[in-house]
Amino acid sequence: MAITYLEAIREAQAKLLADDPRVFIYGQDVGNFGGAFKATKGLAKEFPGRVLDSPISEDAQVGLAIGAAIEGMRPIIEMQFADFSTCGLNQIINHAATMFWRTNTKCPITVRLPCGGTAGGGPFHSQSMEALYAHYPGLIVLNPATVEDAYSMLIAAVHIDDPVVFCEHKYLYYHLKADALPTEALPIGKARVARPGRDATIVTYSAMLHEALACAEELAKDGWQIEVVDLRSVKPLDTDTILGSVARTGRLLVVGEAFPWGGVTAEVVARVATEGFSLLDAPPMRLNAKDTPVPYHPNLWGTHRPTARAIIGAMRELLHA
Amino acid sequence: MLQTSDVTSVKPQTDGRRERYLAAFRWMLLARVFEEKLASLYRGGKVIGGVFLSKGQEALSAALGVALRKGDIYAPLIRDSAGRFAFGESLLDAARTCIGSRLGPMRGREGNIHRGKPREGYYAMISHLGVMVSTVSGGLVARRFKGVRDVVGATCIGDGGTSTGSFHEGLNMAAVEKLPLVVVVANNQYAYSTPTSQQFACADLVDRAIGYGVRGHKIDGTDPQACFDVVGEAVARARAGEGPQMVVADLLRLVGHGEHDDAHYVNHALKVSPIGRDCLEVARAQITAAAWMNAMQIDSLRDQLQAEVESAFATALREPLPDPNLEDWRALSTEALAEGRA
Ligand SMILES: Cc1ncc(C[n+]2csc(CCOP(=O)(O)OP(=O)(O)O)c2C)c(N)n1
Ligand SMILES: [Mg+2]
């Protein structure tokens, strides 16, 4: 039986609801309708009164979750699209994120963000928001790239005593399939070597993992062995695994789907440059989306975001640097 | 204290009534024909991304479009094909945007409902609901600074959109500034799958008007004549300096949220209730009852509009698609300050 990335997210929530009476889900159209993407399909029926439709009020949705968390609940907030989470930004970054530090009170909320680009999505249904949230102290930001991680990391997220921004990639929802749900998982905060190699390292996360793996596969035909590291969690960032890989390969390309200014790829390069400069045989490289809003038409979107082809181009440059 | 939120007494202007009605009807019909074509292109894979239709809301939408004039500000929303055409959008530009033509106003960067030409007073919505209320207000403040009179700014929103913080902040601000703003709320009973019972707890959205200190108007959104009269009155009052006006129309979304949605969740009782009437059918009945046009004339108008729609899409479909190599990939207008690196 094949299970998709999206089904894994649904199954994780079903398990969380079944195992823990403190868990509830709150979001637009998540109830009987099962969510815009069907990530909560059937859950309202299976768990009466615990999967609730909210008004279109992102600020209040997060505020409600924070209040419930103070009282000991484990709310999961579904944003209909990651892009709309900006309407709840204040509650996430200023309220949830500061709660523990200011008041010594835990704030275990999980905000699910359907993020990333799909063909025809356009500027307001395509964004990758991880860098924005990762910037703020007090938040954990997760970016699962596999079906297994989508499942186990969501379960872990809800168990974490701090606010978690869970970035699930819409492009992977239906595309990505696994044979079964995992029974064990790497801990949160650990990156994973998704493909071993010795000539160069690609550090990436979320949907870009699959573009990077395709690049490594292609370059293998020319005899290159590219190591691919899947960050899994962008905050905390597993610097040790990154440095370990760069120590093996001496060359680093960091790939992300988000906008180019700052962000996760810049953070990774900064850490390698400051903590592992001597490991590098060539200047580290970054590949990101372009510095414009995400375009609607696939002709433009395909160039705006990094693809396997673009990664191959960058990698050839790096290998010959 | 400001106005009550009671249903306003409609004082119909009787002169030119037939002409105004038929003009609006034409936009309603054009919107319906345009959207039917769009839906068929979507099913045929010619439109990428979401397609959102306004079936059942054409009368309300057209009512606002015809009540506005050139020089006014108009910020339509998801279900406003009719109003957009009435406000002056060209059919070809609409078709181009939906197809993604490089020659359209959005140049393939944006699709469907997010189109607009802000410098012509036709503001382009972002997806985040509620934000246009304050944006149109800002446009009106600018007009006030410039000493422009007799201007109206209008925006549309759904029942769901009224739950946003932006809507609340925007309408409150417009009321404080006594701006000539008209907010038309299409209460089509659902926000995607969410029924109004899960969206607000007031008996009627128009009851909020008094809380904001704006005049409230209530209409049966399935009744075209009522839409034209009441929306027309709201726009006239705003233009006359009476401050913000909030129009709430009750109707039913007769299609899915988008074309991907079968809308199985829509309560059958609503579909067979008066609210489930198709405003276009009501318009036909009103027009033929008044003997302004007969059924044959209406059909031939439809055929004519159909031909215009076919021709617009045929043109748009032949036009060049966006080309990444021709893009400057620059989001800033200040070229000297653009970093120009990816
Ligand atoms: C702030 C915000 N949150 C969520 C969405 C996603 N969304 C798009 S349309 C829609 C439903 C809108 O319902 P309503 O305002 O009633 O308008 P209708 O679609 O019924 O015309 C939702 C939730 C959005 N566009 N903006
Ligand atoms: Mg609605």
The full DSSP string for A68-114 is HHHTT-EEEEE-SSGGGGGGGHIIIIIIIHHHHHHHS-----EEEEE
Q: Where are the alpha helices (DSSP H) in A110-202?
A: 130-134, 147-159, 170-175
A183: amino acid identity, one letter? T
Q: Work out the angle between the directed axes of helices B279-289 and B295-318 (0-180°, nearest 10).
A: 140
CB of B256 closer than 6 A to ligand 1? no
Residue A222 near residue A254, CB atoms below 8 Å: no
CB of B126 closer than 6 A to ligand 1? no
Question: Range with the lowest mean pLDDT among A16-20, A166-170, B116-120, B337-341?
Answer: B337-341
Active site residue A135: no
- Confidence band (pLDDT; 50, 70, 90) for B339? confident
Give the integer Cα–Cα distance in Å for B181 and B73: 9
Which of A84, A85, A90 has most ligand 1 atoms within 8 Å of its beta carbon, as the pocket-test mutant?
Answer: A84
Residue A97 near residue A274, CB atoms below 8 Å: no
- The structure's pTM equals 0.95
Calculate the average pLDDT of chain A. Answer: 98
User: Residues of chain A with pLDDT > 90: what percent?
Assistant: 99
Task: Indicate if the pLDDT at residue A104 is higher than 50.
Answer: yes
In the numeric block, which tokens belong to residue A248? 């093996």
- Confidence band (pLDDT; 50, 70, 90) for A321? confident
| Given the residues A95, A125, A210, A304, the one annotated as active site | A125
Strand order in A51-53's β-sheet?
A51-53, A23-27, A74-78, A110-115, A164-169, A140-142, A233-235
Grouping H, G, I as helix, E, B as strand and the rest as coil, residue B257 is coil
Task: Indicate if the pLDDT at residue B145 is higher than 90.
Answer: yes
The residue with tokens 């279109």 is A56
Average pLDDT over residues A167-174: 98
Give the integer Cα–Cα distance in Å for B310 and B304: 10
- Confidence band (pLDDT; 50, 70, 90) for B4? very low
Give the integer Cα–Cα distance in Å for B251 and B185: 10
Can you give the pLDDT at residue B9? 42
- CA A180 to chain B, closest CA, distance in angstroms equals 29
A27: amino acid identity, one letter? G
Calculate the average pLDDT of chain B. Answer: 95
Can you give the pLDDT at residue B90? 97
In the numeric block, which tokens belong to residue A163? 């606010």
The span from the first CA to the last CA of chain A, in angstroms, equals 45
Task: Indicate if the pLDDT at residue B1 is higher than 70.
Answer: no
Q: Whose CA is nearest to atom 8 of ligand 1?
A: B127
Q: Whose CA is nearest to atom 2 of ligand 1?
A: B128
Can you give the pLDDT at residue B5? 42
Q: Where are the alpha helices (DSSP H) in B290-324?
A: 295-318
Average pLDDT over residues B129-148: 98
Q: Which of B81, B72, B190, B173 is nearest to B130 (CA)?
A: B173
Q: Is the peptide bond before B76 cis (omega within 30 degrees of 0)?
A: no
CB contact B327 to A (< 8 Å): yes
Phi-psi region at A243: left, alpha or beta (left = phi > 0; alpha = psi -120 to 50): alpha
Give the integer Cα–Cα distance in Å for B117 and B134: 18
Angle formed at CA A59 by CA B204 and CA B110, multiple of 5 degrees = 90
The residue with tokens 């809380």 is B211
CB of B158 closer than 6 A to ligand 1? yes
Average pLDDT over residues A76-95: 98
In the numeric block, which tokens belong to residue B100? 């993604």
Measured from the Cα of B188, ligand 1's closest atom is 20
Average pLDDT over residues A37-64: 98
CATH of range A3-178; options 3.40.462.20, 3.40.50.970, 1.10.10.10, 3.30.930.10:
3.40.50.970
- What are φ and ψ of residue B112, in 5° steps? 30, -120
Phi-psi region at A26: left, alpha or beta (left = phi > 0; alpha = psi -120 to 50): beta
- Confidence band (pLDDT; 50, 70, 90) for B15? confident
Give the integer Cα–Cα distance in Å for B54 and B283: 16
Task: Indicate if the pLDDT at residue B155 is higher than 80.
Answer: yes
Q: What superfamily does domain B5-337 belong to in CATH?
A: Thiamin diphosphate (ThDP)-binding fold, Pyr/PP domains (3.40.50.970)
Residues of chain A in contact with residue B200, where contact means CB-CB under 8 angstroms, are 55
Give the integer Cα–Cα distance in Å for B111 and B126: 11
Task: Indicate if the pLDDT at residue B3 is higher than 60.
Answer: no
Q: What is the pLDDT of residues B159-200, one digit of tens each?
A: 999 999 999 999 999 999 999 999 999 999 999 999 999 999
B313: amino acid identity, one letter? F
Domain(s) of CATH 3.40.50.970: residues in chain A: 3-178
Q: Which of A144, A212, A202, A204 is nearest to A176 (CA)?
A: A144
Tell me, what DSSP letter sits at residue B70? Answer: T
ipTM: 0.94
DSSP lists the bridge partners of residue B218 as B248
Give the integer Cα–Cα distance in Å for B4 and B278: 30
Which of A29, A37, A56, A81 has most ligand 1 atoms within 8 Å of its beta carbon, as the pocket-test mutant?
Answer: A56
Widest CA span in chain B: 64
Q: What is the pLDDT of residues B81-128, one digit of tens each?
A: 999 999 999 999 999 999 999 999 999 999 889 999 999 999 999 999
- Confidence band (pLDDT; 50, 70, 90) for B8? very low
Grouping H, G, I as helix, E, B as strand and the rest as coil, residue B55 is coil
User: Residues of chain B with pLDDT > 90: what percent?
Assistant: 93
Residue B275 near residue B250, CB atoms below 8 Å: yes
- Interchain proximity B126–A123, CB inside 8 Å: yes
Can you give the pLDDT at residue B341? 57
CB contact B296 to A (< 8 Å): no
Where are the strands (E) in chain A, listed by range?
A: 3-4, 23-27, 51-53, 74-78, 110-115, 140-142, 164-169, 177-178, 192-195, 200-204, 226-230, 233-235, 252-255, 285-287
Measured from the Cα of B130, ligand 1's closest atom is 1
Average pLDDT over residues A236-244: 98
Can you give the pLDDT at residue A220? 98
Among candidates A28, A83, A298 on the partner chain, residue whose Cβ is nearest the Cβ of B192:
A28
Strand order in A192-195's β-sheet?
A192-195, A226-230, A200-204, A252-255, A285-287
CATH code: domain A192-319 is: 3.40.50.920
Grouping H, G, I as helix, E, B as strand and the rest as coil, residue A60 is helix
Tell me, what DSSP letter sits at residue B148? Answer: -
Residue A75 near residue B182, CB atoms below 8 Å: no
Q: What is the pLDDT of residues B220-259, one digit of tens each?
A: 999 999 999 999 999 999 999 999 999 999 999 999 999 9
- Interchain proximity A124–B126, CB inside 8 Å: yes
Give the integer Cα–Cα distance in Å for A296 and A95: 33
Residue A195 near residue A228, CB atoms below 8 Å: yes
Where are the strands (E) in chain B, listed by range?
A: 73-75, 153-158, 181-187, 190-191, 194-195, 215-220, 245-250
B233: amino acid identity, one letter? E
User: Residues of chain B with pLDDT > 70: what percent?
Assistant: 95
Residues 72-101 of A with CB under 8 A from B: 81, 83-84, 86-87
Average pLDDT over residues A111-128: 97
What ligand has the least distance to the C-alpha of A122?
1
CB of B79 closer than 6 A to ligand 1? yes
In the numeric block, which tokens belong to residue B168? 């609340």
